[in-house]
Structure 1
């Protein structure tokens, strides 16, 4: 068993071949690992279980105009079989820069574009319909894709106005799927109401091995209502990395094809049957490759997930 750090050092030292095919470094390398995909309940379309988010470090890199790093991370996503790219106009330059790179590289149509709408703010203010429509049209112009795959109301902002607008866009065929997102506990009850009352295709929520609140009500409701689920912050932002710093991945993680801490955390999330895809943010291609390893091979069963929880809680 190798740690994430040791694996990454080996990948970099071994050069392009191993960096592009990390399974060559893994145990049982001669066993072909299949890409894990999940269906969108409203259509049956399947998505790879791991994608790429564009907040946090991706957003910081986009602001710095370090385009080479972002070219590499987007290229790694596609090369390793990923498609889901989650962004938002509020993530600084992320949406604009990623769209420019994707179109330059000719991979825009290979990506499942998930962006967001929010001109109202999180405090409950009303959205100006003209501003909301202008933000949507800017996203279409940047991404260069019509229809856009998924647009969600960001942080539950002015649902009547903004979700109403997205329903119109979906009816017109300009967006394929619509949804709502939140990572704020005080909005979870409101999210449940929207899931109960509105014909949405997706939600985007926070969920991690040490943040399992979603298992209580939101994920069961998504299952019952046939709503796809994108997972944000599967590493607890930096919280889980702080917890495991200097510690080795347990050897028994190989039983579900996890060989780094990143894969350990992501496979826990993806093992929940209601989760459609997790979209951790990164600006480094080697982390993107490592993350995609979580969408390969086996997943932990319920008994193993309890063992994983206990292990993390013991650290």
Structure 2
């Protein structure tokens, strides 16, 4: 490492830590928690249908949690969040220009990660107009400090007809590896379905949770039919699901599937669906990240276990 690289890393870690002793304690605690979780196993992966590339099943959403500046006390937690993800085999980090400073924060922290960050970088275009879309995506490259983005998505289908040709062109050029669309509400399912049927896409990012199962009827079967990878956003139903489950006893069989919390079980419920490729719970809390990644280990839920959970929240 050069003197300049070393200085840059120390400077950013100082910003991220705020108080270095606190940062070191949190990192050690989180790493110990994470290491105890997997027992030496590897996180499960699923194949991206359009390429057969393997993708780890638990990733990270940066909405809200990464919309913070270096001076914010919450910022000092974020290097540990990423370390929890990467140390347990996760790679997917999803962001968007819609998420405030999240892209910039992500780029800052990944730029100093050692060894080199293994992140599968996903972001979005969220504007109208071809020129505006190109300018926004170029800004994403700059903020994320990368020359290649793994997945570029059209956020909430905004002006998708205009942006899709640009995405296809950039994919051919190798600037982006995969293309997709996103949405987060059932009111858009008809349009999502129409686009999936009319266009060849690599990914769909969509809302799916134990208490929000509308995609099971048509969207998920269509993705399997069309060879589209599925990323689940809002996997905790926007937070309402965990609030409803808080205090309830876990099912007696959770040890059989290596689960120790409701968040893990809620994520495993989604991963038991054959169309789902990856879940991206959002957090800026290292302990939550350490808990979430455990859903990527151990046996898959059976149909009977899934039905029991559905009945529990119905």
Match of 2:150 in 1: 149
In structure 2, the residue corresponding to 1:238 is in which secondary structure?
helix
| Cα gap change, 1:60 to 1:312, in 2 (>3 Å) | farther
Aligned to 1:208: 209
In structure 2, the CA distance between the partners of 1:285 and 1:17, relative to structure 1 (3 Å rule), is: closer
CA distances 1:164-215 after superposition (whole Å, capped 9, x unpaired)? 2111111211110000000122211111111111121000000011111110
Match of 1:5 in 2: none
In 2: Cα distance, 1:228 partner to 1:219 partner: 10
Deviation at 1:293, TM superposition (A): 0.3
Residues 66 and 106, structure 2, Cα contact 8 Å, conserved in 1: no
Distance 2:159 2:83 in 1: 35
Q: Distance in 2 between matches of 1:145 and 1:61?
A: 20
TM-score normalised by structure 2 residue count? 0.86
Matched residue, 1:161: 162
The runs of at least 4 aligned residues of structure 1 exceeding 4 Å deviation read 14-17, 60-63
CA-CA distance at 1:146 after TM superposition: 2.4
Give the equivalent residue in structure 2 for 1:307: 308
Separation of aligned partners in 2, 1:214 and 1:142? 33
- For 1:63 and 1:193, locate their aligned partners in 2 and report how far apart those are by CA, in whole Å: 44
The answer as to 2:23 corresponding to 1:23 is no
- Name 2:97's counterpart in structure 1: 89
Structure 2 residue ranges without an equivalent (≥5):
1-25
SS of aligned partner of 2:99: coil
Question: More relative contact order in 1 or in 2 (CA 8 Å, sep 6+)?
Answer: 1
C-alpha distance in 2, partners of 1:64/1:154? 27
Give the corresponding residue for 1:48.
56
1:236 matched residue in structure 2: 237
Please give the alpha-carbon distance, in whole angstroms, between the structure 1 residues aligned to 2:253 and 2:313.
14
Deviation of 1:308 (Å): 1.5
Aligned equivalents of 2:31, 2:96: Cα separation in 1? 33
Q: Deviations over 1:101-159 (max 9, x none)?
A: 1102246641000000011xxxxxxx222111111111111223222100000001111
Change (3 A) 1:297 1:162: same
In structure 1, list runs of 5 or more residues that go unmatched: 1-11, 120-126
CA contact (8 A) 1:62 1:93 kept: no
Instruction: Provide TM-score, normalisation by structure 1.
Output: 0.86
Cα distance in 2 between the residues matched to 1:173 and 1:34: 29
| RMSD of aligned alpha carbons | 2.0
Pairing 1:148-297 to 2, within 5 Å after superposition:
148-297=149-298
CA contact (8 A) 1:63 1:92 kept: no
DSSP-derived class of the 2:231 partner: strand
